[in-house]
A and B are shown apart, each in its own frame.
Chain A
Amino acid sequence: MENTTALPGLSAAPPFPQQRACPYQPPAAYEQLGAQGPLSRVTLFDGRVVWFVTGYPEARLLLADPRISADRQRPDYPAVAPRFQAEVAKRLVLIGMDPPAHDEHRRLLNPDFSRKRIAGLRPVVQGIVDQHVDRMLRTGPPADLVRDFALPVPSRVISEVLGLPPEDLEFFQDASRRLLQATTGAESQDAGRELIGYLDALATRRRTEPGPGLIGRLAREEVAAGRLSHADLVQIALVILVAGHETTASTIALGAITLLDHPDRLARMRAAPDTVPAVVEEVLRCVAVTDLAGVRVATADIPVAGQVIRAGDGVLVSATMANRDDRVHRDPLAFDTDRTGRSHLSFGYGIHQCLGQSLARLELEIAFSTLFTRIPTLRLAVPADRLPTRPPGSGTVQGVNELPVTW
């Protein structure tokens, strides 16, 4: 950012990320930045100062701008936590690549995540959710909603989509959690290497030994025909697993906390099942589980909101704050399930918008409606403000490591 060191305000760039005090509300420091205008600056762990975008229209303009790069292998790509400096985190298909490579991969995957295909998974997801509620009712109360429900449900669903053998589920859940929650580059490397090794072996096996799911189909059709490299198939499977597992798990857990904190809203959802999709959208907006809608680097000078983002500048787009832009949302800090529309950036925006968003919506709908219908007296076993939120050193994905509940 040497180009911008002369601009005023740099000395006021607070550290990023910061810990949320409430699991579904922004840290006070982000709110102060948002109040200054749609663009401000923050300082990363390594001392680098980058742009912090908190305005909804500005965020969308930037995320859709082809002069903004998502390529994690660029030397000027910003790292928001030490673990992103690991080599395994840099080579990241889909999320961390620009066109044309990004578009080629996405095209291979879109059929499996289309709205109709995902709708066809409804009975599978319902079955998985019911199974986990059954188990909670059998062995509890109490229960740990993270360990017993929020984490295993999306893990089972994404494993189904990928076509993983059921006996490997436990290893998977553990290794992907370690990759996401690692606080050092070394921890991230280790977990990533284990997952890649496993997926590598499975993808190799699936070329000769047919199997279900996405890995089976891509190995058989695309890798065999030379349209996709084996290495990229392994990466794609890794990205889908990691992106589809922890984000959904954390949104279930933090969404449950949000709903339990708003009993009137919860009662209305229970009484009117057709409102569940709107509740899910409001949970998505408030929880904004990835916190950031995008980490990018400018490849050219881009004027926006009266400022100029210079080529080489790092750009963080805050979903947490853009989702609370008072030019778009009235009373933006309120959890209001009567809102209409889906004006939030929790799935990102632009060509990188979440591939699995239809699946995430389906899982969240079934998870919340089933959980609160079948266990109507479900409540937190500890006060919400005593649940530890993620420490900032691990990155920006929000979550709680445990969620004691009773009924």
Chain B
Amino acid sequence: MSAGRPAEALVTADRDACIGAAQCAYSAPDVFDQDDDGYVLVRDPRPGPDAREAVLEAVDLCPARAILFREAADGS
């Protein structure tokens, strides 16, 4: 992954707020997963620019508003 890039995109999820609807795992399966209890796991907290749209969709559709996406300074 892109460990050396400055100000890279960062995805975090609030597992206490998560209700296990799995919208994020549908939108961006490379970035999000569910644990055995059905709650969100961030598989890739620093996804590349290709995943941007899918992550934005996951943020938008999350019914518990549990996903935070801090975009990189260069917009990637």
Contacts and interface: CB of A to CB of B under 8 A. Distances in A.
- Say what secondary structure dominates the interface of chain A: loop
Interface string A340-380: 01110001111101110110000000000000000000000
Given A106-B20, A353-B19, A114 B63 contact: no
Contact of A357 (B22, B27, B57): B22
Given A64-B63, A64-B65, A341-B57, A353 B37 contact: no
Contact of B38 (A64, A113, A347): A113
A116 interface: yes
A404 B64 CA distance: 41
A25 B7 CA distance: 47
Interface string B17-48: 00111110111000000101111000000000
A113 B20 contact: yes
A358 to B, nearest CB: 6
Contact of A342 (B20, B39, B61): B61
B22 A358 contact: yes
A11 interface: no
Given A114-B36, A115-B34, A350 B63 contact: yes
Contact of B21 (A107, A341, A357): A357
Interface residues on B, range: 10 to 19
Nearest to B61: A342
Interface residues of A, number: 24
A342 B23 contact: yes
Nearest to B64: A351
A66 to B, nearest CB: 11
A114 B34 contact: yes
Given A110-B37, A110-B38, A115 B63 contact: no
Given A110-B39, A113-B38, A353-B21, A342 B26 contact: yes
Interface string A103-129: 000110011011111000000000000
28 contacts: A63-B63, A64-B64, A106-B20, A110-B19, A110-B20, A110-B37, A110-B38, A110-B39, A111-B36, A111-B37, A111-B38, A113-B20, A114-B36, A115-B26, A116-B34, A117-B38, A342-B23, A342-B26, A342-B61, A347-B21, A348-B63, A350-B63, A350-B64, A351-B64, A353-B63, A353-B64, A355-B20, A357-B22
Given A106-B20, A348-B63, 17 more contacts: A64-B64, A107-B37, A110-B19, A111-B36, A114-B22, A114-B36, A115-B22, A115-B26, A115-B34, A115-B38, A116-B34, A342-B27, A342-B61, A350-B64, A351-B63, A353-B63, A354-B21
